[in-house]
């Protein structure tokens, strides 16, 4: 059925002017000029062939026709606004955003989301991978999984931890190039030997030397000793793992690399570990969670 109605813009301008009984206030609300308001009202009156306002020098008043139309347009725009809000709420309710690196997403989160989707097929998970960006804000997502220290301290922002000790791993190819057997245990002191001092140590960044920290924690007399191995900075964890597999250097592995270790692409000839690090779930205490976001959070917290 075709509806014969005046232009929506004219009705919108009329509703604002009638609600405020002021063309100037309506103009400010709609970010148009007072002249544009007058023009739209005049067009509407011409189309309806009826006066909608009584005009005086400083005030406008609704005519009986104007009052009747105002009550109708008021309800129309309120209902329309409610319907649009409901649509947006339903969309937001269905979507859950979780931020983490591609490394964690592929090696830890993906399978868990797959299982979650089996249990809740109508909940859409949106992954965001900008957590290492300088402008990333936890408040813009429902959950974030970030790497860092794990000290057991939880609060409204830091929800849970996944501790993962770090331990050196190396490719059999690189180990063999230094005349070492894949099955042998290498003592930590060996890294001070001339034969092993030229093996690059793969790192994430220059601001934190986890290799030196690992060495000092595990060497009883290492307080005055420094690992002189060259550091190779590779910020992307996935690229860093592949570099280790390709024999570019030693890597501090965690259990997210078990696939490479179990398949023999990397081996772990050192027994010493660096504890106190891992992954943690973060959220903004000011964020209001949807039911679906709470379901995902609780699902992941149980794992």
* Mean pLDDT of each 10-residue bin along the chain, 303 residues long: 76 92 91 92 92 87 92 88 69 76 93 90 87 82 91 88 95 88 82 86 89 90 82 94 96 96 95 94 81 84 69
Question: How far apart are the C-alpha atoms of 213 and 219, rounded to whole Å?
Answer: 10
- Looking at the DSSP assignment, which residues form a beta bridge with residue 233? 203
Q: Is residue 1 part of a domain?
A: no
222 and 243, same domain (yes or no): yes
Answer whether 222's CB lies under 8 Å from 213's CB: no
Residues 250, 214, single domain; the answer is: yes
Residues 191, 286, single domain; the answer is no
Same domain for 217 and 140: no
- Residue 90: the pLDDT is 55
Domain with residue 13: its CATH number is 1.10.10.10
CA pair distance 189, 290, nearest whole angstrom: 53
pTM attached to this predicted model: 0.67
The reported pLDDT for the residue numbered 91 is 53
Beta bridge partners of 128: 99
- Number of structural domains (the chain) is 3
What is the secondary structure of 277-290 as a DSSP string? EEEEEE--TTPPPP
- The alpha carbon dihedral of 43, 49, 52, 58 has a sign of positive
- CB-based burial label for 201 (10 Å; 0-12, 13-18, 19+): buried
Rounded distance between C-alpha atoms, residue 212 and residue 218, angstroms: 10
Contacts 24+ apart (CB under 8 A), 74-82: 74/15, 74/18, 74/19, 76/11, 77/12, 77/15
Residue 220 lies in a domain: yes
In order of 6, 42, 198, 199, 219, the CA distances from 215 in angstroms are 78, 82, 16, 15, 6
173 and 217 both lie in a single domain: yes
Q: SS3 for 32?
A: coil
Same domain, 265 and 204: yes
| DSSP string for 169-206 | EB-HHHHHHTT--TTSPPPGGGGGSTTTTTS-EEES-S
Same domain, 267 and 286: no
Q: 294 and 263 in one domain?
A: no
Burial class for 50, CB neighbours closer than 10 Å (0-12, 13-18, 19+): middle
Q: Give yes or no: residues 172 and 268 share one domain.
A: yes
Only one residue has tokens 């309506």, namely: 26
CA angle 255, 257, 260 (to 5 degrees): 135
Long-range contact set of residues 113-119: C-beta below 8 Å, sequence gap at least 24? 116/296, 116/299, 116/300, 119/299
Give the range of the structural domain holding residue 82, as residue numbers without chain letter: 8-92
Task: Identify which of 166, 79, 65, 147 has the alpha carbon closest to the alpha carbon of residue 109.
Answer: 147
Residue 263 lies in a domain: yes
Assign 63 to helix, strand or coil: coil
2: in domain: no
CA distances (Å), origin 46, targets 26, 85, 106 = 20, 33, 64
Q: What is the predicted pLDDT for the residue at 244? A: 97
| CATH number for 235 | 3.40.190.10
């Amino acid at each position: 059925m075709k509806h014969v109605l005046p232009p929506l813009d004219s009705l919108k301008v009329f509703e604002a002017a009638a609600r405020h009984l002021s063309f100037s206030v309506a103009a400010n609300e709609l970010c148009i000029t007072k002249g544009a308001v007058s023009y739209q009202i005049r067009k509407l009156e011409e189309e309806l062939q009826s006066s909608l306002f009584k005009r005086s020098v400083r005030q406008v008043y609704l005519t009986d026709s104007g009052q009747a139309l105002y009550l109708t347009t008021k309800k129309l725009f309120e209902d329309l606004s409610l319907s649009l809000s409901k649509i947006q709420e339903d969309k937001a309710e269905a979507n859950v955003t979780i931020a983490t690196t591609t490394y964690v997403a592929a090696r830890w989160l993906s399978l868990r989301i797959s299982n979650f989707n089996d249990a809740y097929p109508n909940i859409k998970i949106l992954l965001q991978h900008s957590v290492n960006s300088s402008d990333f804000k936890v408040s813009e997502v429902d959950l974030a999984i970030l790497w860092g220290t794990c000290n057991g301290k939880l609060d409204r922002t830091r929800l849970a931890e996944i501790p993962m000790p770090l331990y050196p791993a190396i490719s059999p190819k690189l180990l063999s190039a230094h005349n070492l057997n894949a099955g042998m245990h290498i003592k930590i002191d060996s890294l001070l030997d001339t034969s092993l001092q030229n093996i690059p140590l793969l790192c994430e960044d220059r601001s934190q030397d986890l290799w030196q920290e690992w060495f000092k924690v595990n060497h009883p007399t290492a307080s005055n000793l420094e690992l002189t191995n060259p550091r190779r900075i590779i910020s992307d964890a996935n690229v860093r793992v592949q570099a280790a597999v390709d024999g570019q250097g030693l890597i501090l592995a965690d259990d997210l690399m078990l696939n490479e270790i179990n398949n023999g692409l990397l081996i772990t000839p050192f027994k010493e570990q660096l504890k106190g690090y891992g992954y943690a779930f973060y959220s903004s205490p000011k964020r209001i969670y949807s039911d679906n976001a709470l379901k995902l959070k609780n699902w992941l917290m149980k794992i």
